[in-house]
Amino acid sequence: MDAVAKGFHKVYGEPGAGVWAAPGRVNLIGEHTDYNEGYVLPFALPRRTYVAAGRTGGAPRWQVWSAQMDQTVEFGPEDLRPGGLTGWAGYVAGVVWALREAGYDVPGARLAVDSDVPVGAGLSSSAALECAVLTALVDLGGLDLPVPSRPALAQRAENGFVGVPSGIMDQSAAILCQAEHALFLDCRTGQAEQVPLDLAGAGLAVLVIDTRAPHRLADGEYAARRTTCERAAAALGVTALRDLEPARLPAALAALPDDLSRRRVRHVVTENQRVRETVARLRSGDARGIGPLLSASHASLRDDYQVTVPELDVAAEVAEQAGAFGARMTGGGFGGCVIALVGDGAVDSVAAAVTEAFAARGFAAPAWFVATPGPGATRLR
């Protein structure tokens, strides 16, 4: 927070009006369910993207400096068309664009951005940036945008301006999560429930292992998964795969013409069920009992949804062999992170076992940290 405030002062020669922040996330369970109008259960990381900002007068223009890139980008209304700005500044301009498209009078502003959310690790650094900027601009302009409506607006920036066809999970996590809770979100209705997640109290920790595996084919593959799901839903006569209850799965699978869509549908239907079961176990105080559900989710993402890579599979498998109660990839897949539910005394040994296994296979050394559920987007000063 101090660094970004100082950065603002240095770049623009005056202090900003305030500092805002939004977090990265891990998803505990519920993967590739959001765009199928199903359930997700993310929690916010204590790692955040910080934005210092101040209004400018005159015709609206925007200047944004990034500490990571040590670069300033300036844009005006003429740049606000989908794809009009690319790279990191596209996420910022996308938010201004989405606000204006929704009819908001966005004030001209200067912004400084700093972040400790790892980029490209599948921890939603882009949603953190979008949501930190959105929260800052809403406050600066006194815009009447209720908190529950903000995730969809930030998602619009990503879908419509940046051009990534993501679902609503990441922006919802960045905006709606609360410290010490996971967010049980119904992605169709937007209904959100805060589920207490007292891992330390249960003698547990969530170990996040960043495999550092390069994203391969990720964009096209993600869009392809979406399309397959949408076509399967249409073929089965439902609005979205969310509408298939587990009891209907055998009949649905029998009705589908090809193996690929059968696999995708089986993943989505069983994953939605695992989310509900995870929430039930957490509510009943059985945090350790969610371990097998995490592992089943990974197997389904590996075998049926086919979005893992060898690094993700090895990390999940070795973590379990080393004593984790369950482990799974988190986020979109094709690289990124694995989360492992471990006893709080086993963090180092599980991380060491995965590091060793990666070295033995010639993979890049993984990074790791322990994740505790932090707060969602907020003004800090």
Contact residues: ligand GLA, CB under 6 A: 31-32, 34-35, 166-167, 169-170, 331-332
Smaller CB separation from ligand GLA, 128 or 351: 128
* Known catalytic membership, residue 170: yes
Tokens of 233: 């839903």
Smaller CB separation from ligand GLA, 170 or 311: 170
Cα(60)–Cα(76) distance, integer angstroms: 7
Smaller CB separation from ligand GLA, 35 or 358: 35
Q: Are 22 and 376 in contact (CB under 8 A)?
A: yes
Cα(368)–Cα(347) distance, integer angstroms: 10
Smaller CB separation from ligand GLA, 21 or 268: 268
Contact partners, residue 132, CB within 8 Å, separation at least 6: 20, 21, 22, 48, 49, 50, 51, 113, 174, 377
Q: How far is the CB of 271 from ligand GLA (least distance, A)?
A: 9
Q: Which among 87, 92, 79 has a CA at the least distance from the CA of 51?
A: 92
Cα(89)–Cα(74) distance, integer angstroms: 9
Mapped onto helix, strand or coil, the DSSP state of residue 59 is: coil
Q: How far is the CB of 307 from ligand GLA (least distance, A)?
A: 8
Smaller CB separation from ligand GLA, 225 or 262: 225
β-pair partners for 111: 53, 64
Q: How far is the CB of 244 from ligand GLA (least distance, A)?
A: 18
> 3-state SS of the chain: helix, strand, coil percent to 5?
45, 20, 35
Strand order in the sheet with 378-379: 71-75, 62-66, 109-115, 42-55, 18-27, 378-379
Place of tokens 């993967």: 31
Smaller CB separation from ligand GLA, 138 or 162: 162
Smaller CB separation from ligand GLA, 233 or 346: 233
Backbone angles phi, psi at 224, to 5 degrees: -65, -40
DSSP H helical ranges for the chain: 2-12, 88-101, 125-141, 150-156, 169-176, 218-235, 249-255, 259-283, 291-303, 310-321, 347-361
Which of 170, 303, 313, 344 is labelled catalytic? 170
Q: How far is the CB of 5 from ligand GLA (least distance, A)?
A: 30
Q: How far is the CB of 42 from ligand GLA (least distance, A)?
A: 9
Q: How far is the CB of 354 from ligand GLA (least distance, A)?
A: 22
Q: How far is the CB of 332 from ligand GLA (least distance, A)?
A: 3
| Residue positions annotated with a catalytic role | 170
